[in-house]
Amino acid sequence: MIRKLLTVIKRFFREDNSSHSLFVPTFANDYGTKRITKWAKQWKIPNVSLFSEREASYKNAIYRLNNKNGFNRVFAFVGHGCPIELHTDTPIGKLANCGVHGCLLDCEDVLEALTRIHIISWACSSARVFGKKISSCKTSAFLGFNEEIVMLVNPESEALWSDLIKDLVSRITARHRIEYEDKQWLKDRISDLRRKIRTGEISTGSRYYDSLNRGYLKRIAKSVDVYIEGR
């Protein structure tokens, strides 16, 4: 009985300590981020705490980044970014170095003492500098994009993009880490979606929208990259 109780307690604290984060900033007058926030609220990914709208703040991001617990922490982000930083709405972020947004995290926030940080960034160009900086931390990794990415958010396309992002975050948070195989998995998943659009298995509203989505997916597949510490 005591052994069983200890096992339950151990499992409880392991799950609590390994809780991951999903930051989805909502920008004023930005239709795209408002729709993405709605998607994220519907995902309900196990063991992932959602920070959206006013909760997607610099203060909360720094706390989750530095919350040491001995386990890998996955920090997923979906929003606007640039080579050196991830963005949030101006009133709740620190001063950004690029763009007109507030800053959620930048290279200065990536300290040598940080360990076991695995960041998924579904944001433009953030792999170029910020991603490489993350991979300089011990036992840490980054998955993101080297170039600008675009998504089509008309009603018929939302399920396609929402499911793709959700499945990526779910895959990595379930394993508590990013691996090189995740890059190829995402490329293969995108290739399959493009095939289904081409053959008519998936419709995104019209031939014009189908063509746009296939092009945007192809662009994202070419841009995705993974950086892992020490490799």
Q: Which domains does the chain have, with CATH numbers?
A: 18-228 (3.40.50)
Higher pLDDT, 221 or 16: 221
Cα 226-140-168 angle, rounded to 5 deg: 50
Q: Which residue has the tokens 């992002």?
A: 165
Q: What is the pLDDT of residues 173-223, one digit of tens each?
A: 999 999 999 999 999 999 999 999 999 999 999 999 999 999 999 999 999
**pTM above threshold 0.85:** yes
Give the span between the Cα atoms of 84 and 130, in whole angstroms.
Answer: 5
Kindly write down the DSSP assignment for every residue of the chain, as one continuous string. -HHHHHHHHHHHHHHHHT-EEEEE---TT-HHHHHHHHHHHHH--TTEEEEEGGGS-HHHHHHHHH---SS-EEEEEES-EETTEEEE-GGGSEEPSSSSSEEEEEGGG--TT-BSEEEEEESTTTIIIIIHHHTTSBT-EEEEESS------STTTHHHHHHHHHHHHHHHHHHTS--THHHHHHHHHHHHHHHHHHHTSS--SSHHHHHHHHHHHHHHHHHEEEEETT-
**61-65, 69-73, 119-123, 149-153: segment of lowest average pLDDT:** 69-73
Q: How confident is the model at residue 3 (pLDDT cuts 50, 70, 90)?
A: low
Q: What is the pLDDT of residues 124-143, one digit of tens each?
A: 999 999 999 999 999 999 99
